Amino acid sequence: MESHTSRTPSPLDELDMKLLHALETDGRAPFSKIAAVLGVSDQTVARRYRKLTAEGGLNVVGVRNAERLGTDFWMLRLRCTPEGAQTIAGALARRPDTSWVALMSGGTEVTCLTRPRRPGDHDDLLLGKLPRTPHIVEIRAFQLLHSFFGGPRGWLSKFAPLSEAQLAALTPRLPPVTGAPARIAPEDEALVTALEADGRATYPELQRATGLSESSVKRRLSALLESRAVFVDVEYTPELLGYHVAASLWITAAPASLHSVGEALASHYEIAFASATAGPSNLLATVVARDTAGLYAYISGKLGQLEGVQHVETAPFLRRVKQLTYRQSR
């Protein structure tokens, strides 16, 4: 949920909210299907989509599902010199194996979520490149152990702009997940790369990107989505919804309360992401609030009242550099 557009986006109305929720539910749903479910014309959906893309930073992209692929991913906290933090954040954001890159309040800490594509990628970044990078003073790495909320589960679902009937009509009918890990075959890499650039790429566009026939593209794309090796996600600026403040919460919970605290966090509408971690703290969450007073109210209220929470470190975002994609400021 980020953007580097220079103008303040217009607030969302009810139809915009429903369109965003529809895209969170099925990012590749045709505009004609979304329009039919929402009871508006195809042209209206297309026009609203273009406006949200231009003004709200809306982007629909394919994402490799680390949990289903069985790859580890880590949150890095990098303490940097003041003159190097922005450069390091930008360099990390340009890497294809990162997401959630942010410059934190104070301007000397960069947080970064790594999504390794191959087993050696994480070692190359954490043990190779970063320790040799000038201006990095300290590196702390937290392995994400268990997801409570985030990934394929979109934040807008907590606001429920779509009715149950609308949601049912748009939810893709996928087979149950099997116990075996999913995989992305080498011959599917070009297809996944094209989806990472544009999750709504048409079949002719995917054909040109892969050199495959239309029937092969459809078959391989269906297999990737059905196995959950890849899912289609959306990003946008939370200011669209009136949420102007965001922060990382590094939470220490009593071991016996870890799961119950994580499940409680996942149920809070203010939480956009929550995961158990290995490291000095054992829970990481992203909280969004309308303003600073709202952030305080959440920390001292819902979060503070959770049984088992022993310590909370709050690190507000100064600037989001990347969520799923990196876009230069303009």
Nearest to 283 by CA among 185, 177, 150: 150
Q: Which residues of 251-275 are buried (b: 16+ CB within 10 A; e: fewer)?
A: bbbeeebbeebbebbbebebbbbbb
**CATH class of the domain at 67-144:** alpha beta
The CATH fold of domain 148-153+241-317: Alpha-Beta Plaits (3.30.70)
The answer to pTM > 0.85 is yes
Q: Assess contact for 285 and 251: CB atoms under 8 A.
A: yes
Structural domain boundaries in the chain: 67-144, 148-153+241-317
pLDDT tens-digit profile, the chain (330 residues): 443 333 455 678 999 999 999 999 999 999 999 999 999 999 999 999 999 999 888 999 999 988 888 888 889 999 999 999 999 999 999 888 888 899 998 889 999 998 766 655 666 666 567 777 889 999 999 999 999 998 888 888 888 899 999 999 999 999 998 778 899 999 999 999 999 999 999 999 999 999 999 999 999 999 999 999 999 999 988 888 889 999 999 999 999 999 999 999 999 999 999 999 998 899 999 999 999 999 999 999 999 999 999 999 999 999 989 987 765 543
**Shared fold status for 67-144 and 148-153+241-317:** yes
Distance in angstroms (rounded) separating the CA atoms of residues 164 and 161: 9
